[in-house]
Chain A
Amino acid sequence: MSEKIPAKIRLRSIVDKVYQNAWDAKERGEPVGWSSSKFPAEIAEALGLAVCYPENQAAAISAKHGGQRMCEHAEALGYDNDICGYARISMAYAAGFEAEEKAMPQPDFLLCCNNICNCMTKWYENIARMHDIPLVMIDVPYNNTVEVGDDYVQYIRGQFDDAIKQLEEISGRKMNEKKFEEVCANSNRTAKAWLKVCSYLQYKPSPFAGFDLFNHMAVVVTARCKLESALAFEALAEELQENVKNNHSTWKYEEKHRIMFEGIPCWPQLQPLFKPLKENGMNTTAVVYAPAFGFAYSNLDELMKAYCKAPNSVCLETGVDWREGICRENKVDGILVHYNRSCKPWSGYMPEMERRFRKDLGVPVVSFDGDQADPRNFSEAQYNTRVEGLYEVMEEYKAKKEAK
């Protein structure tokens, strides 16, 4: 039997390749783009344009402890420390402050889609000014209803068509229908495989540590239109199937409790975040990225709708529904909410969501203050106390249940 490369390694190399591809393009004198994570990646991919992802870069820099340094550079440029940490890191990098933690070529054009937040609009405008480069803007207004109306679809479609024209000009190539369809098919296949991977969290005990999803997400963000991503996620799903069969898991500890981790993790503090969870046997079996990145569509109108369904662009009810859905499926018995100082749109729904989770799911909910990128907004002591508190209440609930 030939040695199989573990899916984890394959996934990591896909992300590396995305950035290598951008460096190579730069070297050949081809334009390189920077894109927000939920810009319709299908267009640039079909036109063969090299693209990097500032959010992914900022997360990587933060995880390697460069977040505070870059944030401080941004502050010295006049950006308030109140602004999203990803934006601060990215604007500092664009302004010329280096980050060996995760270098990427400077942009020649920008792809901005503000479905996740309006901060994106202004962040990308700032970078476009610094480099005097074109900005392709797809605006997805916030939606107050569960359904996405035709008005949204038409409006986004109009911008989508304009974006294609702009990018044809930037790339010097014409959009090839067949290529576009192929890319869309890959994107759907990746989404499906991603959801399949996520669905393994429903097994009890889980065949993997849910925190792994935060790492794999990089692939969904940077390479969802590539066939190899779909293949790697499919391979991962097979491994997980094996794990279920053999009672294996990448969660190396007892699985006493299963929780949802709400929000983006504090990248600078991954170790401290993980520590009390593993010590108390609390596996994360639900993260909202699962449903939020599972884009599937079968025609262009549905594609427009899919891009309307991002975290922070959907109404409260949809947001609650996504989360409660995975909490139920994945048999969660407690919820840990990250009040992420960086992300105003996200954290702004959390108090109401907490109430709904408690009422609808009957599980304890505990929150802590932190930040996805700026380490100054996290207190390990507070976090540990809160996790401890959650653990205790979950134990209590469990004892009560068992006594019944």
Chain B
Amino acid sequence: MSNIQTLLSAFDAIAKNPKKQLDDYISQGKKAIGCFPYYVPEELVYASGMVPFGVWGKTGGKINLAKEYFAAFYCTIAQLNLEMGLDGTLDGLSGVIAPSICDTLRPFTQNFRVACPDIPFMFLAHPQNRKKEYGVKFTEQQYNKIKIKLEEISGIKITNDNLNEAIKIYNENRKARRRFIELAGQYPHIITATSRSVVLKSAFFMLKDEHTKMLNELNGLIEASPIEPWKGKKVVTSGIVLDSPSLLKIFDDNQLAIVADDMAHESRAIRVDVQENTNHPMQALAEQFGNQDYDTLLYDPELNKRPGYLVEKVKKSQADGVVIMIMQFCDPEEIEFPSLKKGLEEAGIPYIKIGMDQQMTNFGQAQTSLQAFADVLSTL
């Protein structure tokens, strides 16, 4: 057990202090590239010899300077990303990659580009018709634009070889993270909601081979531990990001174990692997994006796959219910809520919807709701 705790503390330290991580990489002579949400092909950054650094807002952050660019009705994740660009937090980065897939990210890309002119800016357009040949080709073309800029910044050519290598490293990391998510569901007495979050979050601030190494060790230790019956209830989380220690503590206090998730920051980001060792690794990366599904941000050609996918997740993980974290002002999540609700209701799965944002300091309402939800689940 002590080894598990040591590893968890190490993950915790990294997740809580990304700035230190960044400074450490820089002092090792490495360059880092900020990767804003969503679906940035980090493999390209890795292949160019740089550190992909996830930037997903800042839990507990304050919006101040970004008000010069956004009215109040924008999600905090976009506003805080801009805030960090403006207040110098992102200064150590040698560039940023900014996707434009939702209606907030469209103006975000423009605002960031003009507000932070000193940070080299890489715009990324993703296609919604991403599965057909023309969609894959478009993705590939956009990734190629990023590739050229990354090569300029790093001075290292992205070749089929180093890209294939990066893909392998990323697949291994995705696999380790998926395994960890499963284990966290089976061993909630060892992995709390809080520690589950820091393990997954730290991946965004680490070179993936380093993260995989630590995580495989942790996974091994967990697997070797005895499974104990869980006295609390089991839930699946859904939403954009859930990394607030105060919110996670409410899960832990109420013995709500997170046994699977549908969070953009967690499972949605690692669901699909990339084909390894091909002669066309760039195309393989584009195809991976084509294979992304079940996401509020993505067009669903089959129109209603997501609720069924979530229902399946609940059944497979033997969860008792779903906690839907709605990021305030996030219209893709909000507009897909009624369909999700319908799907869950039809399957007889209890759920609760909790509003949140990254500036939140008062968790009273979330506390009351989650507690009530835990109580409801215990009576079922």
- Contacts from A to B (Cβ < 8 Å): 77-80, 82-84, 87, 114, 117-119, 121-123, 125-126, 128-129, 135, 137-139, 141-144, 151-152, 154-155, 157-159, 162, 312-313, 315-316, 339, 341, 344-345, 347-352
Chain A residues lying within 8 Å of B108, measured Cβ to Cβ, are 348
Chain A residues lying within 8 Å of B106, measured Cβ to Cβ, are 117-118, 142, 312-313, 345, 348
Q: List 30 A-B contacts (CB under 8 A).
A: A80-B335, A83-B335, A87-B335, A118-B128, A118-B297, A121-B128, A122-B296, A122-B336, A125-B299, A126-B338, A137-B128, A139-B128, A141-B126, A142-B106, A142-B125, A144-B113, A144-B123, A154-B134, A313-B106, A344-B74, A344-B103, A344-B331, A345-B104, A347-B71, A347-B107, A348-B104, A348-B108, A348-B111, A349-B111, A351-B70
Complex contact A137–B299 (CB within 8 A): yes
Q: How far apart sit A316 and B373, CA to CA, in the bound complex (Å)?
A: 45
Chain B residue with the shortest CB-CB distance to A157 = B134
Complex contact B71–A155 (CB within 8 A): no
Chain B interface: which size bin? Answer: 35 or more
Q: How far apart sit A155 and B338, CA to CA, in the bound complex (Å)?
A: 32
Q: How far apart sit A125 and B336, CA to CA, in the bound complex (Å)?
A: 9
Complex contact B69–A352 (CB within 8 A): yes
Complex contact A117–B111 (CB within 8 A): no
**Residue of B73, B125, B134, B141 touching A344 (CB-CB under 8 A):** B73
Complex contact B128–A78 (CB within 8 A): no
Q: How far apart sit A126 and B110, CA to CA, in the bound complex (Å)?
A: 29
Complex contact B134–A155 (CB within 8 A): yes
Q: Is B339 an interface residue, CB under 8 A from the partner?
A: yes
Q: How far apart sit A143 and B125, CA to CA, in the bound complex (Å)?
A: 7
Complex contact A345–B337 (CB within 8 A): no
Q: Is B138 an interface residue, CB under 8 A from the partner?
A: yes
Complex contact A144–B103 (CB within 8 A): no
Q: Is B220 an interface residue, CB under 8 A from the partner?
A: no
Q: Is B133 an interface residue, CB under 8 A from the partner?
A: yes
Chain A residue with the shortest CB-CB distance to B110 = A316
* Given A137-B128, A154-B137, A345-B107; 9 other pairs, CB 8 A cutoff: A83-B331, A126-B335, A139-B129, A141-B125, A142-B100, A143-B125, A316-B110, A316-B113, A352-B115
Least CB distance from A324 to B in Å reads 16
Q: How far apart sit A349 and B68, CA to CA, in the bound complex (Å)?
A: 11
Chain A residues lying within 8 Å of B104, measured Cβ to Cβ, are 344-345, 348
Chain A residues lying within 8 Å of B142, measured Cβ to Cβ, are 151
Chain B residues lying within 8 Å of A123, measured Cβ to Cβ, are 335
Chain A residues lying within 8 Å of B338, measured Cβ to Cβ, are 77-79, 126
Tell me the chain B residues, 305-351 only, with Cβ under 8 Å from chain A: 326, 328-329, 331-332, 334-339, 341
Chain B residues lying within 8 Å of A139, measured Cβ to Cβ, are 127-129, 299
Least CB distance from B300 to A in Å reads 6
Q: How far apart sit A326 and B102, CA to CA, in the bound complex (Å)?
A: 29
Chain B residues lying within 8 Å of A157, measured Cβ to Cβ, are 134
Complex contact B341–A78 (CB within 8 A): yes
A118 and B335 in contact (CB under 8 A), knowing A137-B301, A351-B69? no
Complex contact B111–A352 (CB within 8 A): yes
Interchain residue pairs A-B with the least CB separation, the first 9? A348-B107, A158-B134, A78-B338, A139-B128, A141-B125, A144-B123, A80-B334, A155-B138, A316-B110
Least CB distance from B7 to A in Å reads 40
Least CB distance from B289 to A in Å reads 12
Q: How far apart sit A154 and B332, CA to CA, in the bound complex (Å)?
A: 27
Least CB distance from A138 to B in Å reads 8
Chain B residues lying within 8 Å of A79, measured Cβ to Cβ, are 334-335, 337-338
Chain A residue with the shortest CB-CB distance to B125 = A141
A129 and B303 in contact (CB under 8 A), knowing A77-B338, A348-B74, A348-B111? yes
Most buried by A among B71, B102, B107, B297: B107
Q: How far apart sit A316 and B111, CA to CA, in the bound complex (Å)?
A: 8
Least CB distance from A190 to B in Å reads 28
Chain A residues lying within 8 Å of B336, measured Cβ to Cβ, are 122, 126
Q: How far apart sit A15 and B346, CA to CA, in the bound complex (Å)?
A: 41
Complex contact B303–A128 (CB within 8 A): yes
A345 and B103 in contact (CB under 8 A), knowing A121-B299, A137-B299, A154-B134? yes
Q: Is B197 an interface residue, CB under 8 A from the partner?
A: no
Chain B residues lying within 8 Å of A158, measured Cβ to Cβ, are 129, 132-135
Q: How far apart sit A143 and B110, CA to CA, in the bound complex (Å)?
A: 10
